[in-house]
Amino acid sequence: PLTLIANQMINTSIFPDSLKIAKIKPLHEKGPIDKCANYRPISLLPSISKILEKIILKQIDSHFTVNNLYFNSQYGFRKKHSTEHAIIELTDRLITSLD
C-alpha cells in the first residue's frame, strides 16, 4: 500500500502538506540549560513521511541509474560514490593537464 501511495505522489507531483509539517524541538547541546544559545532546533517529521520519502528516493535513484541520467562527475548523494572518488578524478585531471 505504501508503494501505491508513493507512486501516486510521483505521478501527480504532489506531496501532501500534512506530511510536511514538522514539530520543532529544542535539543540541549552543552552549557547552562537556561541559555537559549545552548540549544539547537531539531525537526521531527511524521514517520510515514520519512518512509514515503525513502521509497520515492529509491524509485528516482533507480530511474536515474537505469537510464544513465547522472553526470559522470556527480559524486554527492550517490551510492558507491564518495569524495574520495572525486579527489581521485580531480588528481587524474590535474596530472593529465600537466603532461
Please indicate, yes or no, whether residues 35 and 16 belong to a single structural domain of this protein.
yes
Grid look-up 530511474 returns: 63
Give me the number of domains the chain comprises. 2
Please indicate, yes or no, whether residues 53 and 97 belong to a single structural domain of this protein.
no
**Which residues, in sequence order, are CB contacts of 61 under 8 Å at separation 6+?**
78, 79
- In which domain, by residue range, is 87 found? 71-99
Cell of 34: 537556561
Helix (H, G, I), strand (E, B) or coil at 27: strand
Please indicate, yes or no, whether residues 54 and 10 belong to a single structural domain of this protein.
yes
Please indicate, yes or no, whether residues 50 and 98 belong to a single structural domain of this protein.
no
Give the separation between CA 20 and CA 59, rounded to whole angstroms: 20
Please indicate, yes or no, whether residues 61 and 76 belong to a single structural domain of this protein.
no
Predicted TM-score (pTM) of this structure = 0.67
pLDDT tens, position by position, 21-66: 999 999 999 999 999 999 999 999 999 999 999 999 999 999 999 9
Please indicate, yes or no, whether residues 57 and 16 belong to a single structural domain of this protein.
yes
> In this prediction, what percent of the chain has a pLDDT beyond 70?
100
- Report helix angle 47-66 to 2-12, nearest 10: 70
Please indicate, yes or no, whether residues 30 and 11 belong to a single structural domain of this protein.
yes
